[in-house]
Structure 1
Amino acid sequence: MTGWTDLPKELLSLILSNLFGLDKYTFSLVCKSWNAASAISPYRHSPYLMSYQWNRAWKFFQYDLIFDKKFPELPKAHIRCSKYGWLLMSGFAFSLYFFDPFNGRRIYLPKSDFRQAITCFFHEPTSPDCFIVGMANSVDGLSIEIGVLNHGENKWKKYTYHSKTPFYVSICNPALHRGQLYCLDVAGNIATFDINNHGSETSWIVHTKCLSPPRLRQKLRQHFLIKVCGILFAVLLAHEERKVNVFKLLEPDMRWEVVEDLGDKMFYVSHTACLAHINPQTSMANKIYFPKFHGDNGVFYCLKTRKYHSFKGDYSSKKSYGLNDNDFATWIMPTPFEEFSRDFSWCPEVDDEIPCINLDKGSGDIRI
């Protein structure tokens, strides 16, 4: 061996498996051979499961790998949504901001002025198309308050919508589909929200009796909504032994059809992020990855075996009893670091409220 470029592929793969975030990106820039090792890494298209440890330390799981990282700048913050490698966080007094845990970047946002059960965003935070949606149900489920914050605005646009039948929105995030937001409720029903006609009575439409058999609607404990290849899927866990049920939405009838096999698809589900990947490798496909653990070992559900399995292979069961649910964990997919333009801004009013900005090293606080 004459230099760093001559390291064996096996050793490069081992080094890469122990790197996190920006370090992985830097690894790929060293030389052609290191870049090639990064390109064929089995983890390059896999998300992390991110979990708070209550001591300002966050734990990242990726299959059988575990990383720990502290973020002192996130005191008692809560993850509301995760997409595009960014987290939408909430803090004290309805404060909101985006945070990139892989590169340490933060984007300040206008405060919300109402309590939201769901807060999510669509399109990348650095895109002028980005918008944020917050939702809060009434106690009887017959009305819902929806707030929308578009890029360039400093105030939320809030309207209350009414329906003839109760719709208790699930805590899973809606999906942007066919230009509308599709929302899942605790009974498996679907409501559509036309974001372009916010304020119109017809922009919120509730569809009932979407799920059969009716008895299943009363037994649901967890609800996840995923969009993949232009199709909406629901992963619903029943009270009985945490039985996993998978459905796809039939449109325009708005009815759920049972799915027995995902084929080459992989689902990663949590309350704040649901991701899907296409993987031709049969050993990884047709599985659903949950924020569940058997001890310190991650767990997934295989539709072929109809069982929960651990990544290390030391656990297998049709029931989920004894598994630890991490309801506050989220899936997040790392993205390459991108430089921000210094004149990129969400709105001047937010800029005036932020006392400082640091872009000198390509990271830090960013006013949007």
Structure 2
Amino acid sequence: MRCIAGSWDLIIPSELLQEILSRLVLKDNLHASLVCKTWCEASVSVRKLQPWLLYPALEESSGTCSHYILFDPLGFQTHQQRFPELKDHELCYSRDGWLVVRNGYPSVFFLNPFTRERINLPWGWSPEFSSYYCLAFSAAPTSSSCVVISLKQIWCHDYLFIHTWLPGETVWTPHRFENQLRPQRKWTQCVFSNGMFYWLSACGYLGVFDPSRATWNVLQVKPCPANFVRPMLMTEHEGNIFVMYKCGRSYQPVFKLNLERKVWEEKRELGGLTVFSSYSTPLTRAGPSAEEKNMLYERLGSSYYLANDKSLFVPLGVHVGFRRIALVDPPQLVKL
């Protein structure tokens, strides 16, 4: 075990120091990073940053703008950037600092808003791919574990159409599965967890796509007992899947999936987690601060706010489509 020396001539094993610092909330982590160079490096390596918010600039919120704002909630700073490639496009999914973006058919690509790196995906080729479909991915496109999935469900059709893509491939791989629910019951939200893509239906069922085996099944669990007449969101954190209501300031139950018992368990709080909600992907993190534990950052109208009204994200008056707003994980060192 390698040891590192602190500024007080203390010898602390590096693994132990990182374990201690990883348990600190963000504010205390920042304070610890000021102790010395060694503590700074260890603090940065385990720091849990809040996701940044990407949204169209106020003066160009008509729907065809190319100027966007990147908002840093930690420093409460805004950075205006020009993204011509986002004009008339939708932000579909966010993970590991990357967005997958689309403009109907056939324009689909990855974008890293911090490095401005763009990776184009192959054009679709089938009629099923050319109309409405949902997109998700498992990891950054620079990772060997990246899998991109599109799910297309045709109204009143007995089949689901799933296409997958891996980095380096020049075409999408098509899959067709029997729709085990009534065709009118749509699959609406997706999270990647424990190597699987989980899709939540509009009536509380979970569909599971295993990319390693190219299989699709409806999980043998009773539907989530939430009231799906109301807006819902699904999110995951370290292998746990949660379903919760998007809006409401009074007590709102949270439903956690227990895969071992194959039941949904109702919880009164998030277990110290903070959920950042957006159309593209809800991002869930361990509470950045003690005050923000068990909180839900919500999107209501055109504004994002913390449940206790402490932090406004999108300025009031910015009226943009919800498909053009996304939360993105920043790198440890941001250079804009």
Alignment equivalent of 1:157, drawn from 166, 173, 187: 173
Q: Give 1:60's aligned residue.
A: 70
Query: Structure 1, residues 146-179: CA drift from partner, whole Å, max 9, x if none?
Result: 11112222111112211343263443333232x3
- TM-score, length-scaled by structure 1: 0.65
Q: Residue type matched to 1:56 in 2?
A: S
Answer yes or no: is the 8 Å Cα contact 1:210–1:254 preserved in 2: no
Selected match of 2:108 from 77, 96, 101:
96
SS of the counterpart of 2:330?
Answer: coil
- Picking from 280, 305, 308, the partner of 1:299 is 305
> Is the 2:205–2:218 Cα contact (8 Å) retained in structure 1?
no
Give the distance between the partners of 1:245 and 1:166, measured in 2 at CA. 28
Q: In structure 2, which of residues 227, 238, 243 is the aligned counterpart of residue 234 of structure 1?
A: 243
1:309 aligned partner: 309
Q: For residue 334 of structure 1, what is the aligned residue in structure 2? A: 330
Instruction: Find the aligned partners of 1:57 and 1:278 in 2 and give their Cα distance.
Output: 31
SS at match of 1:174: strand
Give the whole-Å Cα distance in 1 for the aligned partners of 2:309 and 2:320.
14
**What is the CA distance between 1:180 and its match in structure 2?**
2.1
CA RMSD of aligned residues (A): 3.6
Identity of aligned residues (%): 19
Call closer, same or farther: CA 1:169–1:49 in 2, change over 3 Å.
farther
Asked whether the 8 Å contact 2:204–2:225 carries over to 1, the reply is no
Structure 1 counterpart of 2:52, from 48, 53, 66: 48
Compared with structure 1, are the counterparts of its residues 130 and 229 closer, same or farther at alpha carbon in structure 2 (3 Å cutoff)? closer
Separation (CA, whole Å) in 1 of partners of 2:318 and 2:309: 11
Q: Secondary structure at the match of 1:67?
A: strand
Residue correspondence of structure 1 range 185-224 to structure 2 within 5 A: 185-198=201-214, 203-207=216-220, 209-212=222-225, 216-217=227-228, 219-221=229-231, 223-224=232-233
Partner of 1:147: 163
Query: 1:107 aligned to 2:102?
Result: no
- Matched-pair contact (CA < 8 Å) for 2:255–2:264: yes
Hey, what's the Cα distance between the residues in 2 that align with 1:280 and 1:56?
Answer: 31
Spell out, residue by residue over 1:234-290, the C-alpha distance to the aligned partner (whole angstroms, 9 max, x if none). Answer: 12348x999854210022454322121123211112221221211373211110112
> Does the aligned pair in 2 maintain the 1:293–1:299 contact within 8 Å?
no
Return the letter of the residue paired with 1:311. S
Q: Give SS of 2:105's match.
A: helix
Q: Secondary structure at the match of 1:283?
A: helix
Size of the aligned set, in residue pairs, is 279
Contact 1:273–1:332, Cα closer than 8 Å, also in 2: no
Aligned twin of 2:257: 249
Kept in 1: contact 2:199–2:207 (CA 8 A)? yes
Q: Distance in 2 between matches of 1:68 and 1:300?
A: 23
State the secondary structure of the residue aligned to 1:197.
coil
Is the Cα contact below 8 Å between 1:163 and 1:206 reproduced in 2? no
CA contact (8 A) 1:80 1:120 kept: yes
Tell me: CA distance 1:110–1:70, structure 2 relative to 1, closer, same or farther (3 Å): same
**TM-score normalised by the chain length of structure 2:** 0.71
Q: For 2:106 and 2:251, locate their aligned partners in 1 and report how far apart those are by CA, in whole Å.
A: 36
Q: Secondary structure at the match of 2:177?
A: strand
Instruction: Give me the whole-angstrom Cα distance separating, in 1, the residues matched to 2:150 and 2:322.
Output: 20
Give how far 1:73 is off: 3.4
Unmatched tracts of structure 2, length 5 or more: 1-35
2:143 corresponds, among 109, 112, 127, to: 127
Matched, 1:184 2:194: no
Q: Structure 1: 5+ residue runs without aligned partners?
A: 1-31, 302-307, 313-321, 339-362, 364-368
**In the alignment, is residue 174 of structure 1 matched against residue 196 of structure 2?**
no
Q: Would the alpha carbon gap of residues 58 and 325 (structure 1) be closer, same or farther in structure 2, given more than 3 Å must change?
A: closer
